[in-house]
Amino acid sequence: MPDSWPSAFEKIMRAHLPRLDPAAPLTATLRPADQGVDSLALVSLLLELEEEFDVPVPDDALLDLHSVDVGQLAALMGCAGNAPGEAEVGR
């Protein structure tokens, strides 16, 4: 089953993942860090997601930011849908 995200989530994620081929699926296990996204860019991504979904990210979630995957970000924003890998960041 393909991962399911709101279109706004997918659009924001893809905008912050310039190395991801536009034809490639955005999967729950994809890690932004593996796509060359550094910690400053990850914080920028989180801020944009927070603003779009009006969901504050807890400070302790920032501790494991380098290892976060798309599914965890979706779960943090409350828009994980049917996507696997919905574990919380920092858990």
| Alpha helices, DSSP H, located in the chain | 7-15, 39-53, 70-77
Positions in the chain short of pLDDT 50: 1-2, 82-91
7-77, superfamily in CATH? ACP-like (1.10.1200.10)
Q: Of 82, 78, 74, which Cα lies nearest the Cα of 1?
A: 82
Direct distance between the N- and C-terminal alpha carbons of the chain, in angstroms, rounded to an integer: 25
Predicted local distance difference test score (pLDDT) of residue 59: 80
